Amino acid sequence: MTETNLIDQIKQGDEDAFEMLFKEYFKVLSVYARKFLNDLDLAQDIVQEVFVKFYEQRSTMLVHTSLKALLYQSVKNRCLDHIRSQQTRSTHHDNILSLSKGSDIDAADFMEQVELEQKIYQSIADLPEQCQVIFKLSRLEGKRNQEIADELNLSKRTVETQISNALKRLRKDIFSYLKALIIMVLEFIS
């Protein structure tokens, strides 16, 4: 079967054609992903995610060079996204640990920091679903606007607008929280 026929059959929802593609590439893509991640189980999970996304988007899939090249590039991008995400989480975790161990920061300051972080995460959780997804991809996973637009099949302008809306909402929510905190501190002092 030619690659063009295989692609056409997959686009039409032929599960046998997709299974054939999966069986042909799953192992080699897992080994390829493991080179980035140093963890075979994680590599296999990521390759499965790529195949799931590939199948979900099969009707709109565009193959510019070859199916093999598309799969390898998708796995590479997903691995790099995972690495960036882990680095961002690690940085946030390190910041919290350094705050908790800092000699010049007392427990009250640390608790205020934790409460502020909780307020930020709650504010993010209260965003509309698409806005929340875009904001998390941008700020928590470190993806560029064009990457997000490509991943979610949106225009770059839509992504920029959603991020702008999320930031406005966060500023409003956080300002209200900080304003209440300042009033409470001033009442405590007087």
For the entire predicted model, the pTM comes to 0.51
Largest CA distance in the chain: 82
Rounded average pLDDT over 28-51: 92
pLDDT for the residue numbered 99: 54
Predicted confidence (pLDDT) per residue in 52-89, tens digit: 989 888 888 787 778 888 899 999 989 988 888 777 76
Q: Answer whether 172's CB lies under 8 Å from 164's CB.
A: no
Is the pLDDT at 97 greater than 80, yes or no? no
pLDDT at 110 over 50: yes
| 18, 10 Cβ separation under 8 angstroms | yes
Q: For the chain, how big is the Rg over CA atoms in Å?
A: 22
The neighbour count for residue 50, using CB atoms within 10 Å, is 24
Q: 3-class SS at 105?
A: coil
In this predicted structure, what is the pLDDT of residue 103? 45
Quote the percentage of the chain above a pLDDT of 90: 29
Domains annotated on the chain, with CATH: 1-101 (1.10.1740.10), 103-190 (1.10.10.10)
The answer to whether residues 83 and 39 touch, using CB atoms and an 8 Å cutoff, is no
Which sign, positive or negative, has the C-alpha torsion 38, 41, 42, 45?
A: positive
Residue 27 pLDDT > 70: yes
At 114-149, the pLDDT tens digits run: 677 777 778 888 888 899 899 888 887 888 999 999
